[in-house]
Amino acid sequence: MKDVINYNYNFDVNEIEENKNYTSFKYNGEYFYFVFFNRIEEELNDLIEICYELKLKGIRVHDIILNRYNKVLTKVGENNYIMLKLNCKKDEIINFIEICEYTSKLKLNGNNSRLYRNNWGDLWSKKIDYFEYQIKEIGKNKQIVLDSFSYYIGLAENAISYVNKVNRTIGLKEYDNISLSHRRIFAPNIGLNYFNPLSFIFDLEVRDIAEYLKTIFFNNEDSLLDLKTYLKIKKLTPYSYNMLFARLLYPSYYFDIYEDIMNNNQDEEKLVYIIEKVNDYELFLVKAYEEISRYSYLDKIDWLIKKKL
């Protein structure tokens, strides 16, 4: 890979660090990442435009470096790669307040971007259908998955029903913020990932907040405290309050690991910790429901209300 980088970018790099989806190195005092392009090519122009607009506004994003042919993508075998120059310290942590601020810095006018992702109910339904087919075909020997799968499918179906009802009864309004968001948020939230344009999408600003809260919950951090902080500093619409809770309800934390297991990238033992915290997370959902209900009416979920009682 070193020869590919040196040739295509006119670099003179001596030492590189290779990982599965990227190669990293330091050159002239700057950190660079040669990253597998994990998006469809039709989204590339939108991503480039976002980077340009962020730079104009003085908002941090990693720089996309063109190759010697003045192109963004570089072919390596059958795959496309993209060169990024970091615009943060390599190990910089982006905290919760910074996430709250970042989500409000770039809005989408209309829904004509290829990066728009607000059809949660439909996307989740398709995923669940695929997971149910998949586990019948290749999951028969994965006992931990088999023992837990039905519960999380049920939770997901609950979230899908909730989203669909909110869309019918309240619906997205023109004053609901469709903001720069991420496909996934990690904890600790490292700038290397957070400012990577390949992770960008447009969605409700509560998407990133909910995903971060779920992630830190399973890192044994106080996600309820951060939720309370967010609700105090952000005024949302009734639609966004409800969708914030719907996102907390949907068990992406389980399905992300499930997909890695099915792709043979993770041992199913990784799920044990998630499963052992089922009751704790249900209690968090009850408390989150109570907190968000202080700001807006939330559609009722009978089993949560019973758990509260």
In tens, the pLDDT along 286-297 reads 999 999 999 999
The dihedral through the CA atoms of 243, 160, 259, 214 has a sign that is positive
In tens, the pLDDT along 148-202 reads 999 999 999 999 999 999 999 999 988 788 899 999 998 899 999 999 999 999 9
Token pair 């088999």 in the structure block, residue: 146
In tens, the pLDDT along 91-111 reads 899 999 999 998 888 887 655
3-state secondary structure 65-109: ECCCCCCCEEEECCEEEEEEECCCCCCCECCHHHHHHHCCCCECC
- What pLDDT score was predicted for residue 112? 62
CA–CA gap between residue 146 and residue 258 (Å, rounded): 11
CA–CA gap between residue 234 and residue 97 (Å, rounded): 11
Query: Which of 178, 177, 196, 175 lies closest to 186 in space, CA to CA?
Result: 196
CA–CA gap between residue 289 and residue 308 (Å, rounded): 10
Strands (E), the chain: 17-18, 22-27, 30-36, 63-65, 73-76, 79-85, 178-182, 200-204
Highest-confidence range of 12-21, 211-220, 298-307, by mean pLDDT? Answer: 211-220
Kindly report the average pLDDT of the chain as a whole number. 93
- Strand, helix or coil for residue 284: helix
Token pair 């307040």 in the structure block, residue: 97
In tens, the pLDDT along 211-242 reads 999 999 999 999 999 999 999 999 999 999 99
- What pLDDT score was predicted for residue 139? 85
Q: What residues does 26 pair with on adjacent strands?
A: 31
| pLDDT > 70 fraction of the chain, expressed in percent and rounded | 98
Instruction: Give the pLDDT band of residue 281 (cuts 50, 70, 90).
Output: very high
